[in-house]
Amino acid sequence: MSDVAERVKKIVVEHLGVEPEKVVDGANFIEDLGADSLDTVELVMAFEEEFGVEIPDDAAETIVTVGDAVKFLSKSA
């Protein structure tokens, strides 16, 4: 697992309080991990902080799974 994926998963586990084994690439934040819409905004804020990047709103809307986040952050971080 890449370093980015590691860090993304750590944030998701901490923030959503879910079992680490559930945080797989295909896991949808809302449908699979029980996030609400505000959680997804907070996750994006947490990613921005951890990776020191700015995620524009239109990009944030495309980040719906753990894999989406890893992919986006691998490109921009």
Tokens of 61: 């809307």
Query: What are the structure tokens assigned to 13, written together?
Result: 């586990």
Q: Does 45 bind another protein (CB under 8 A)?
A: yes
Q: What angle do CA 1, 19, 57 make, to 5 degrees?
A: 70
How many residues bind another protein (CB under 8 A)? The answer is: 4
Distance CA 50, CA 27 (A): 20
Q: Which stretch binds another protein (CB under 8 A): 2-10, 21-29, 37-45, 64-72?
A: 37-45
CB of 36 to another protein, least distance (A): 8
Query: Binder to another protein among 17, 19, 26, 38 (CB under 8 A)?
Result: 38
**What is the amino acid identity at position 54?**
E
Residues near another protein (CB under 8 A): 36, 38, 42, 45
Q: Which residues are catalytic?
A: 36
